[in-house]
Amino acid sequence: MEVEQVLCMNGGLGDTSYANNSLIQKRAMFKAKPILEGIIRKLYCNSFPGCLKIADLGCSSGPNTLSVVWEILDIIDATCKQLKREPPMFQVFLNDLPGNDFNTIFRSLPSFYEKLKEVKGNNFGPCFIAGIPGSFYGRLFPNQSLDFVHSSYSLHWRSQVPEGLVSESGIPLNKGSICMAKTSPIAVHKAYLDLFERDFRLFLTSRSEEIVPGGHMLLSVVGNDRKPGDPRCTGWELLGITLSDMVQEGLIEEAKLDQFNLPFYAPTPEEVKQVIQTEGSFNIQRFDIYRVDWDANIDNGNKSLTSDSYTRGKNVARSIRAVAESMLASHFGNEIMDDLFERFSKKLSEYLEVAPGQATTIVVSMTKA
């Protein structure tokens, strides 16, 4: 699987689009909002830059894409009014892989600029927004050209599928699974962990060259806080079980399933800290861990917002389809997608009857050392 070619969220504005099924990502951003506010205020007041240069890495498309940008503009606006200073200009870079739906983002910019003018007035900014396609596991910007880097719900995606998932005799080591699951052997875990450490180290090294001295970075990543014996499943594990069921019914070839592994790894908090400390370019300012419900229609655990487990299962299945369909369709074919996700929604509903479905989120605030 060539990850850069097939890893992209569903574009457009349809029923299965990422734009209409990204509430969990929005909730994660909301959770990190107080941290973002503290960072931006400190960053601005420390240097009062004439132009604040910002990059959002793994921006995707849809309403979440520009929401972080708006939050930053709001924070700066309030800070400048409080200090009676003229606001700076803004240069914003939106980055994702080349397959991202940048066209939808660009079409939304005129209305964004118009709203900015109406709400903030003619004397605010100006704000210049540009798209930067490419992998963030490598350089994207010139040396010391950024003040602040933000990335939310992107760094759990790997640069590739790990090597070493097949034995020397050609036997798939992660047979029957599509990700690093509870049932995966130690060799599979090591392959995923080694790749995470390599990728994340490269990410940090690349950003350290691009961020100005004293610049800040805020990362939110899906993590793993399960202890040995923890009965909880991830949504990806349940998706793998759904595919296995279809193999048993003869709807998917067993070899097809055995050849498929997601370029996804949710690190533990300890693994994230270790790479940051070992790489050494950044100092950790805050390190927070919290959980977000798979069904983002649930607000702070208030299950009355969704009527039943069936509805919740449908909601979660749509959100995962918006993220994973491009990779699944490229390997298994488009013709099984509707059936797969209908079955998956039922599997999720059954699981949510007996267990909470929650994603662990790790939020790290750092400054360049």
Q: Render 67-101 in DSSP notation, one character per residue.
A: HHHHHHHHHHHHHHHHHT----EEEEEEEE-TTS-
Output the CA angle 68-70-76, nearest 5 degrees. Answer: 105
**Beta-carbon count within 10 A of 341 CB:** 22
Q: Determine contact, residues 285/365, Cβ cutoff 8 Å.
A: yes
pLDDT digits (tens, 9 = 90+) for 132-151: 999 999 999 999 999 999 99
pLDDT confidence bin for 12, thresholds 50/70/90 = confident
Is pLDDT larger for residue 182 or for residue 135? 135
pLDDT digits (tens, 9 = 90+) for 200-233: 999 999 999 999 999 999 999 999 987 777 777 8
Nearest to 156 by CA among 360, 366, 346: 360
Q: What span, in angstroms and rounded, lies between the C-alpha atoms of 237 and 227?
A: 16
Q: What is the pTM of this model?
A: 0.90
For the record, the structure tokens of 148 come out as: 């602040």
Mean pLDDT of 73-97: 93
What are residue 209's phi and psi, to 5 degrees?
-80, -25
Report cis status (omega within 30 of 0) of the bond before 126: yes
Mean pLDDT of 268-294: 94
Q: Determine contact, residues 298/305, Cβ cutoff 8 Å.
A: yes
Q: How high is the pLDDT of residue 217? A: 96
Q: Reduced to 3 states, what is the DSSP secondary structure of residue 368?
A: strand
| N- to C-terminal Cα separation, the chain | 36
Q: What span, in angstroms and rounded, lies between the C-alpha atoms of 222 and 224?
A: 7
Q: How high is the pLDDT of residue 41? A: 92
Average pLDDT, the chain: 88
Nearest to 264 by CA among 234, 288, 242: 234
